[in-house]
A and B are shown apart, each in its own frame.
Chain A
Amino acid sequence: MKVLSITIAAVLLSMFASSQPLITRNGFLGFYSKTPMEDIKAENNQVVAAIDLQKKSLAFSALVKSFLFRKELMQQHFNENYAESDTYPKTSFTGSYTGEVNTQKEGSYPVQVSGKITFHGVTKDVTVPAVLQIQGGKLTGTANFQLLPGDFNIKIPSVVRDKIAERIDVKVKVDYPINH
């Protein structure tokens, strides 16, 4: 009986001791391609993101179909011909960051994020600089970096080569409320 009680206590403790990650359902993910021929902008405000400040790990997941373009036709071509979202419905990132963040103190903390991006069924290792900011009871994470379509096995036909930038700018912005 004693053993059992201890077991239960230990189990309960281990459950509560594990750190609680912060999670949000409306993170922002945008990508931008600017050429003299065409200005493409796609934004997704329904990104699920989580960060664990103890383990220094973070993860993102988003539906590829939820990227909104200014032109309906672009959105259709993106989903049908490039991202093939019927076959690869989700894009995700999992990784960790290095750098110290003090949640008790307001300020900006530059960090290095590294991990794996999965898009169009291809997984790629990336390391990008990011900023974690503590302000007004909020933790905001932002990152700007560039990706190459070719790295994710996305082929761009020569006909539209001039309309799509070689490097695609990616913007990430996530707000988490912190409860002290």
Chain B
Amino acid sequence: MQKFYIFISFLLFGSCIKAQDSSLAQLVNDSSINENSIVKGTFKATQIVNMPTIESPAKGGLQFMIMHRFGRLNEGAYELWGLDNATIRFALDYGISDRLSIGIGRSSHDKTYDGSFKWKALQQKEQGMPFSASLYGLIAYSTLKYSDKPYLNGTFRTSYLTQALLARKFSRNLSLQLAPSWMHFNLVPTEEDNNNVFAIGFGGRMKVSKRVSINAEYNYVPDGQIVTNDITNSLSFGMDIETGGHVFQLVFSNSQGMVGPAYLAKTTGKWGDGDIYFGFNITRAFTLKR
């Protein structure tokens, strides 16, 4: 019994000492809940270079993008190392909700119109969900006139891209993304070429300061799917510079095309031969609805 009393008094003493230690500051600090929030800012922009990222405009946000690629670096001095030529893509992306965005675009490359959507299926959390996953779909429609092929109607001019974008922000500076991709071409050059082409993209960014990051992406297209054209895998490097509502991306790529079916399946440039396209992507964000 005696022992029991001593034990109890010790307990009370202990709790008393604790109560005196915990100041008001301790009290509020302990009571503030550390909520498990969604990890934001995995990438600065909605694309690494050509590959879309899991980022999309927030609800009611409109993003205007100008993507621009000069000619090839190896065209030499007469073409001012490619700067005399350019292909361009304009795009508008709108956030219907914080998870769903839609977009339209127009590339001068094959005079192609495109429509796309991006849906954030899973979002990385601080605790628990280790990665983000988005579904990206794009339909491309080429309007380039072939006077020798009048039979090319709408069906033949259309191609589709579906991508699963799997990304993880590993630290405040490092984010990586994996993108299994499936393309369907309604028209391919010969019977040996597949209408369905599969590819896998890898990409990432490394921040070098708060507002600048270095990016790289590589898109691997397994052999035997496209045989007529001697295609190469698209490899691109870039640098993001963020200034408030703008993101400037300076890029170097062996791809001239800027939408999936073009840069994944129609890249013929080789880095080793100097087939390097310099260019930039500029995004500007507007808020339409609050």
Q: Which residues of A contact B (CB under 8 A)?
A: 1, 4, 7-8, 11-12, 14-15, 18, 21, 23, 25, 46, 48-52, 55, 57-63, 65-66, 70-73, 76-77, 79-81, 84, 86-87, 89-90, 92, 94, 157, 159-160, 163
List 27 A-B residue pairs with CB atoms under 8 Å apart, sorted by A's residue number. Answer: A4-B6, A4-B9, A7-B9, A8-B8, A18-B19, A23-B27, A48-B31, A50-B31, A51-B24, A59-B24, A59-B28, A60-B28, A61-B28, A63-B33, A70-B287, A71-B61, A71-B290, A72-B58, A73-B285, A76-B41, A80-B172, A81-B210, A86-B172, A87-B172, A92-B29, A94-B23, A159-B243
Instruction: Pick from A65, A73, A87 the residue with the most CB of B within 10 Å.
Output: A73
Chain A contact residues, majority secondary structure: mixed
Query: In chain A, what residue has the closest Cβ to B1?
Result: A1
> How far is B5's CA from A52's CA once the two chains are assembled, in angstroms?
33
Determine if B98 and A4 form an interchain contact, defined as CB atoms under 8 angstroms apart: no
Determine if B16 and A14 form an interchain contact, defined as CB atoms under 8 angstroms apart: yes
Chain B contact residues, majority secondary structure: mixed
Determine if A49 and B12 form an interchain contact, defined as CB atoms under 8 angstroms apart: no
| Known interface pairs A73-B245, A94-B25; 17 further A-B residue pairs with C-beta atoms within 8 A, sorted by A's residue number | A8-B5, A8-B9, A23-B27, A25-B32, A59-B24, A61-B28, A70-B287, A72-B58, A72-B98, A79-B41, A80-B40, A80-B172, A81-B211, A81-B242, A92-B25, A157-B243, A159-B244
> How far is B34's CA from A92's CA once the two chains are assembled, in angstroms?
14
Known pairs A7-B9, A160-B244; A58 contacts B37 (CB<8 A):
no
Closest beta carbon of chain A to B17's beta carbon, Å = 10
User: Which A residues are CB-close (under 8 A) to B24?
Assistant: 21, 50-52, 55, 57-59, 94
